[in-house]
Chains A and B, each alone.
Chain A
Amino acid sequence: EADIYQTPRYLVIGTGKKITLECSQTMGHDKMYWYQQDPGMELHLIHYSYGVNSTEKGDLSSESTVSRIRTEHFPLTLESARPSHTSQYLCASSEWGREVDTQYFGPGTRLTVL
């Protein structure tokens, strides 16, 4: 059973506001990921981390930033939210060193920017 948490679950905010989406996991996984998913569309990787102080941009260009100061915590920040940022944001983690990485997902944050 995966123990990965995201807060808030839903967020409605005005244009120009700074927001931070929280993601935490209690499994001790080294790798963590942020995906963006629009309705009926595939998941797009926007950020990933292989461990503390390691972050990389994903395949989908994003104006968000991430940090990884603690193994269990991988927050995503938008400095100035815009309507184009409206989407579902999914956090995932996976275990290092196995034959293959199985990713476990959090419940997601539904962001609406007005």
Chain B
Amino acid sequence: EDQVTQSPEALRLQEGESSSLNCSYTVSGLRGLFWYRQDPGKGPEFLFTLYSAGEEKEKERLKATLTKKESFLHITAPKPEDSATYLCAVQGVSGTYKYIFGTGTRLKVLA
């Protein structure tokens, strides 16, 4: 069964304190792994798509990496405005286009 597990559930960082969020996945053939940012009461905002192991993508203070079993979202020198829930999702090759979402990591960056 396809599954996505994100850790930690919640993370508090001081401004400037770099860290990483983890997304472990089990899928019968990976088409893509996706990272989203979600602010309270809003829809998820697309960040990255990763297609294959070894791939990396960067956007401002965020860097996403992918292995065959997990993905990391590295946050370098975070700012309070980076506070949000970060969601991971995978899409398998099963023939449908459904996403499997994790429950997210709630990030709080303190000034």
* A41 lies within 8 A of B103 (CB): yes
Closest residue of chain B to A103 (Cβ to Cβ) is B99
Q: How far is the CB of B20 from chain A (nearest CB, A)?
A: 21
**Is A2 within 8 A of B41, CB to CB?**
no
CA separation between A104 and B44, bound complex, in Å?
8
Q: Is B22 an interface residue (CB 8 A)?
A: no
For B86, list chain A residues within 8 Å (CB): none
Q: Is B65 an interface position by the 8 A CB rule?
A: no
Size category, A interface: 20 to 34
Distance in Å from the Cβ of A18 to the closest Cβ of chain B?
24
Q: How far is the CB of B1 from chain A (nearest CB, A)?
A: 11
What is the total of A-B residue contacts with beta carbons within 8 Å?
Answer: 59
Number of residues from B at the complex interface, CB < 8 A: 22
Query: Which residue of the partner chain B has the closest CB to A109?
Result: B43
Closest to B50 in A: A100
The answer to whether A100 and B98 touch (CB under 8 A), given A105-B43, A108-B43, is no
Q: From B93, which residue of chain A is reached at the shortest CB distance?
A: A100
Among A40, A90, A102, which residue has its beta carbon within 8 angstroms of that of B43?
A: A90
Q: Is the CB of B103 within 8 A of A40?
A: yes
**Is A45 positioned at the interface, with any CB of B under 8 Å from its CB?**
yes
Q: How far is the CA of A25 from the CA of B31 in the complex (A)?
A: 24
Tell me whether A102 and B41 are in contact (CB under 8 A).
no
| With contact pairs A42-B101, A42-B102, A45-B98 given, residues A100 and B31 touching in the complex (Cβ less than 8 Å) | yes
- By a beta-carbon cutoff of 8 Å, the part of chain A in contact with chain B is 2, 6, 31, 40-43, 45, 48, 50, 58-59, 88, 90-92, 94, 99-108, 110
